[in-house]
Amino acid sequence: MLSSSENIEKLISELESLPGVGRKSAGRLAYFIANAPKEKIDSLISAIKNVGENTKKCKVCFTISDGDICNICLNDKRNKKVIMVVENERDLLAYENTGEYNGVYHVLGGALSPLTGVGPNELKIKELMARLKDDVEEVILATNSSVEGETTATYLAKLIKPLNIKVTRIASGVPVGGDIENIDEVTLLRALNGRLIL
């Protein structure tokens, strides 16, 4: 079903091209924008343009930053001896939002996936290994629990262990509110193996 406006249809099409945005969501956003005050639209356009023109990758951890080095890497209160390796910036943000992690990060830019052509050279693995020449005590592998994430964690662990640096893997298991009967065997096994003493 097409909109009554070519401009709205073009906006829906652009919004729909964003990850996780389907046609219905794109339509809701497009009509919200069309009905918003001009100042709100101008502010949104300015924010999008600013991100496109004024952000870059941190030269240390490869997250999105306003400067050459991000605020996390510049923060002297962060424990630079502990590096958490994540697949993308959204994962970094999720851990930052907990308020509990005080180390630094390394953003790989994805996970190993030979079927889609993502090998070690497409990720920031070489840069991670260069960082480990500094005084690093622990690397936390916080890749996703997908096949690609597990493959990436295993690959990195094999590279890092010979450097005599502690390598840990985030625990995963039964989600809060999840029914055990509906959870797959791999998740249940990891929950069992990663159990804590109470």
Chain segment 24-55, per-residue pLDDT in tens: 999 999 999 999 999 999 999 999 999 999 99
Are 160 and 94 in a shared domain? yes
Question: Is the model more confident about 163 or about 179?
Answer: 163
Question: Is residue 106 domain-resident?
Answer: yes
| Sign of the CA dihedral running 145, 149, 150, 156 | negative
Give the pLDDT confidence of 93-135 residue by residue, as tens digits. Answer: 989 988 889 999 999 999 999 889 999 999 999 999 999 998 9
Q: Which residues contact 143 (CB under 8 A, 6 or more apart)?
A: 85, 86, 87, 108, 111, 149, 150, 152, 153
Question: Is residue 59 domain-resident?
Answer: no
Asked if 85 and 156 count as a contact pair (C-beta separation under 8 A), the reply is yes
Question: Is residue 82 domain-resident?
Answer: yes
Domain that holds residue 157: 75-169
pLDDT score, position 198: 43
Are 83 and 142 in a shared domain? yes
Q: Is residue 80 within a helix (H) or strand (E), and if so which, with residue range?
A: strand 79-86
Extract the tokens encoding 164.
Answer: 């005599």
In this model, does residue 180 exceed pLDDT 80?
no
Give the pLDDT confidence of 68-101 residue by residue, as tens digits. Answer: 999 999 999 999 999 999 999 999 998 998 888 9
pLDDT score, position 196: 57
Residue 24 to residues 88, 133, 196, Cα–Cα distance (Å): 27, 49, 43
